[in-house]
């Protein structure tokens, strides 16, 4: 099994009330508009939501991957997406835990992880075997960290308006 894994978790402050923060993180359009690499998020007629993400391993290859997910939780304190039932190759987990500190201050614990599983490297990309799991996972880790870090900065700015 050829497996690529990467993930990031970060806790940060937002200068906005929890209701505004909850609305922001509950709106997929904000993720598409503000998180580099996320090209689209759409829900099909079976209520499975597909996050289409562009990933690049510099000098080796790039690929677009669709991650089928379902909303596992959407409460006052948590929004969580998990891999859709039956998914066997492309796994995405995304959650935002919200902690109200005051009327205009919310703490957000954001987590995003991805895992790609293939029987062989060639199923992912013809050049994936040359790079190997370790190099591709390290590059995916770097890219996801960069994506989430930029998203957090943009979200903080937007929510402070």
- Give the model's pLDDT for residue 59: 62
**Distance set, CA 26 to CA 37, 90, 95, 136 (Å):** 19, 22, 10, 30
- Residue 161: strand, helix, or coil: coil
Answer whether residue 73 shows pLDDT above 80: yes
Structural domains in the chain plus CATH codes: 2-160 (3.30.530.20)
pLDDT value of residue 58: 66
Please tell me the pTM assigned to this model.
0.89
Model confidence pLDDT, tens digit, residues 8-24: 999 999 999 999 999 99
Q: Which whole number is the average pLDDT over 114-132?
A: 89
Whether 62 shows a pLDDT value over 90: the answer reads no
């Amino acid at each position: 099994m050829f497996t690529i894994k990467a993930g990031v978790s970060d806790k940060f402050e937002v200068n906005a009330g929890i209701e505004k923060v909850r609305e922001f993180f509950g709106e997929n359009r904000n993720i598409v508009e503000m998180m580099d690499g996320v090209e689209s998020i759409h829900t099909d007629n079976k209520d499975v939501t597909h996050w289409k993400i562009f990933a690049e391993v510099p000098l080796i290859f790039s690929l677009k991957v669709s991650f089928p997910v379902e909303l596992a939780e959407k409460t006052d304190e948590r929004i969580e997406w998990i891999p859709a039932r039956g998914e066997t190759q492309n796994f995405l987990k995304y959650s935002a835990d919200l902690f109200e500190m005051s009327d205009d201050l919310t703490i957000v614990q954001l987590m995003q992880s991805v895992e790609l599983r293939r029987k062989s490297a060639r199923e992912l990309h013809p050049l994936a075997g040359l790079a190997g799991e370790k190099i591709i996972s390290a590059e995916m880790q770097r890219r996801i960290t960069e994506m989430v870090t930029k998203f957090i900065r943009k979200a903080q700015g937007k929510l402070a308006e």
